[in-house]
Amino acid sequence: MKRAPEVFFLPAGSEQRLCLFHAPAGTPRSCVLYLHPFAEEMNKSRRMAALACRALADAGHAVLQIDLRGCGDSSADFGDATWPDWQADVQLALRWLDSRHPGMPLWLWGLRAGALLAAGDWGRPVNFLLWQPMPSGKLALQQFLRLKLAAEMAGGGGKGLMEQMKAQLAAGEAVEVAGYRVHPALASGLEAARLTPAGPAGRVAWIEVSAQAGDTLKPASLQALQAWQEAGWTVSSQVVEGPSFWATTEIELAPALISATVEAL
pLDDT tens, 146-204?
988 776 666 556 667 888 998 999 999 999 998 999 999 999 999 999 999 988 999 99
Angle, nearest 10°, between helix axes 83-100 and 184-192? 70
Residues of the chain with pLDDT under 50: 1
Give the per-residue pLDDT at 111: 98
What radius of gyration, in Å, describes the C-alpha atoms of the chain? 18
Q: Are residues 157 and 44 in the same domain?
A: no
Query: 170 and 54 in one domain?
Result: no
Q: Which domain holds residue 23?
A: 6-135+194-264
User: In total, how many domains does the chain have?
Assistant: 2
Q: What is the pLDDT of residue 42?
A: 96
Give the predicted TM-score (pTM) of the model. 0.95
Would you state the pLDDT for residue 135? 85
Residue 109's pLDDT is: 98
pLDDT at 80: 96
Q: Do 89 and 143 belong to one domain?
A: no
Please give the pLDDT value at position 67: 98
Question: Rounded distance, CA 43 to CA 218, Å?
Answer: 26
Residue 80 to residues 17, 138, 144, 212, Cα–Cα distance (Å): 14, 20, 17, 39
The per-residue pLDDT for 147 is 87
Verify that 222 and 111 share a domain, yes or no.
Answer: yes
Spatial distance between the Cα atoms of 15 and 9, rounded to a whole number of angstroms: 9
Q: Are residues 149 and 131 in the same domain?
A: no
